[in-house]
Amino acid sequence: METFERRAAPLAYLGAAIVAAAALASCSVSVPDPGATTPAPAPSVLATPTVTPGHDADAVAAKDLPLSAGGTLAAGVPVGIADGLREATGWKLVQENVQGQNRFVRKDGCQVITRLSLNQGALAVAGDDKASTEALFAYLDPGIEPASLKAENLRWGADNDKPRRKVQVLAFNARPAADGKAFSVLARMFATAGSSVYLSAACPSPAALATAKADVANYLPLIPPSN
């Protein structure tokens, strides 16, 4: 039977790719599921996760979801990631649902990766999404210190007919490389849901990265479960 250590072994290389970022392609990081070998599919905007009766998922979806509110989600029901960036001006979807991962590229050379991973209980700190997300980053690269992570927001829900809500994530914003290339990684471990979301953006310059992250925030909302 395959051990956790064997499944985690590729992370040494992948984590190094986060820090080094020698090329834009180096910023692609696949997040394996510590507790399972089968990757999760990447849901689209319309693929809204559902929950069993008895939990008011719509009430949770109607409010902002800071890191402190992860316990309001239903246990074991994953949060989704939209794929609306494919419709944004200048962007193109070039890799769809490859081991649960989508990849988008923009005409100026920017690249965005999204991934949803299930069965993350081995990394989760019960009742604490912040500590769980810090553990996820440490799993990706032990060199990433919690102090280097910054709280940022993504959209919570893809419904444009309602007031926008925010979901808090942690971000690792690397210093630009000598050649100007810049990248950022945003992630959140939902401890109660037992799943994680991962988004990375890499661009030829910090200015381009800023606009790419704005597009991510606008077109790639996280999708809450619904009733």
What tens digit of pLDDT does each residue of 124-139 get?
Answer: 999 999 999 999 999 9
pLDDT tens, residue by residue, 141-200:
898 999 999 999 999 998 888 889 999 999 999 999 999 999 999 999 999 999 999 999
pTM: 0.79
Give the integer Cα–Cα distance in Å for 62 and 59: 5
* 25 has a pLDDT exceeding 50: no
Domain containing residue 207 = 4-223
Phi, psi of 200 (to 5 degrees): -130, 145
The answer to whether 70 and 190 are in contact (CB under 8 A) is yes
How many domains does one find in the chain?
Answer: 1
Give the integer Cα–Cα distance in Å for 7 and 220: 29
Helix, coil or strand: residue 113:
strand
pLDDT exceeding 70 applies to what percent of the chain? 76
Which tokens belong to 83? 């794929």
